[in-house]
Chain A
Amino acid sequence: MERLLDVLREQLRLTGTKEGCGEGECGACTVVINGEIVNSCLVPVAQVEGAEIKTIEGVASGDQLHAVQQAFIEYGGAQCGICTPGMVIAAVDLLERNPHPNEAEIRNGLAGNLCRCTGYMKIFESVVRACQQECQEMLDISDK
């Protein structure tokens, strides 16, 4: 038995995906399998034969960063960086399912991703900024 996380990092050298807790609590190893986010530390690689997997390496289009990535850079969404790939993947997944999330929906979308630097407000702000036009009204509320 092999974990998807280990195959990604050790065999494919896709080291953007991080290992945090190794038990599905922290979300650092989040990847997308067939359009759904999962904790890759909990997925045996035998279960993904034929599946489409997207890691953090596949979020940008060439040199063009995804709006979420750009926002994390501009608004300080990353501190030590270990949770960042998982946070970005979860945020991108959220915005793909729901382009105009409200505050509760953003919190729910990122609830499975823990940041030990506890930079949650900056992360939250980065996700809000990523859908800035649509979320302007919400920003006005959260700034108060």
Chain B
Amino acid sequence: MRSYLPAYELKTAATLDQALDLLAQEPGTWRPFAGGTDLMVLLEAGKLSHKNYCNIWNLKELRGIEVSATHVTMGALTTYTDVQANSVLQEEFPMLCQAARETGGLAIQNRGTLGGNIANASPAADSPPALLAYDAELELTSVKGSRWIAYQGFHTGYKSMVLKPEELLTRIRLPRRSGLHHYYRKVGTRKAQAISKICFAGTAQLNGDEIVDLRVAFGSVAPIPIRCVSTENVLRNQRLARATIDRGRAELAKEIVPIDDIRSTRDYRLQVSLNLLEDFLRRLSSSSV
């Protein structure tokens, strides 16, 4: 059943300051509205309970990708198309480009934004596992100023996050690193336009066949996009060997909490998640030789 559209208000902010002012008025009344690829779906389905939105789509302050010696910093309105077109992201953050390429189709990629993907807080979103594996940081801005926080820890529960009602997610920053191995895999029903059954992103630094450091992150296996720190701890400083893989699988099975839902089952998700971790580690093994 469609929503009654006149009940919804979308107020356009001409500048970032205007948007922040609006969010600061009666905090919680106005919520940001970017590319609309999630919110409009809920609206059409009659499931969008909040009514007042601040249109931030046209804010130039929230666009653009800047590259410094140490970081790549993306405006929150960076679209999936923007991500795929950036040569530094292609070279150094290929999992983010792959996530962008495998989200929706081109029309969605032209409108969907990284900031929206994060703040919409779907556990099945495709870019968060890559962002977690790359140690992303988020800039949250309000009329009182800005703060940078680690993306890990941003999601505190299903659709809950460390974002105050008066704050806007304005930028996403990735530290540049060399010598990383990357492994990203989205498992969905079809190649395009599918929502993930499971989404996995892993990075690792090796010294010979020893895992010096690594990141393991998943989508669709917990109420939030999850970085599996216990699994990482079990694997860090270990040699790539069968016993290590088995210990990693055992720890991961304890760390994720997949569920049955319309897209998949708990059992399938658990099995495939363990297999993906193993495939990641096996590929590291073959690249270390």
Contacts and interface: CB of A to CB of B under 8 A. Distances in A.
Q: How large is the interface on B (under 10, 10 to 19, 20 to 34, 35 or more residues)?
A: 20 to 34
Nearest to A31: B107
Contacts of A43: 36, 40, 111
Interface of A: 1-3, 22-25, 27, 30, 36-39, 41-44, 46-47, 49, 90, 93, 108-109, 111-114
B37 A24 contact: yes
A47 B106 contact: no
Those 9 A-B pairs whose CB atoms lie nearest each other, nearest first: A112-B105, A111-B192, A1-B8, A42-B40, A36-B110, A23-B41, A111-B105, A22-B44, A47-B57
B108 A39 contact: yes
B9 to A, nearest CB: 7
A66 to B, nearest CB: 18
A112 to B, nearest CB: 2
Given A1-B9, A42-B111, A47-B55, A37 B106 contact: yes
Contacts of B111: 38-39, 42-43
Contact of A112 (B12, B40, B45, B108): B108
Interface of B: 2, 5-6, 8-10, 12, 33, 35-37, 40-41, 43-45, 53, 55, 57-58, 81, 104-108, 110-111, 191-193
Contacts of A112: 104-108, 192-193
A114 B193 CA distance: 10
B82 to A, nearest CB: 11
Contacts of B107: 24, 27, 30, 37-39, 90, 112
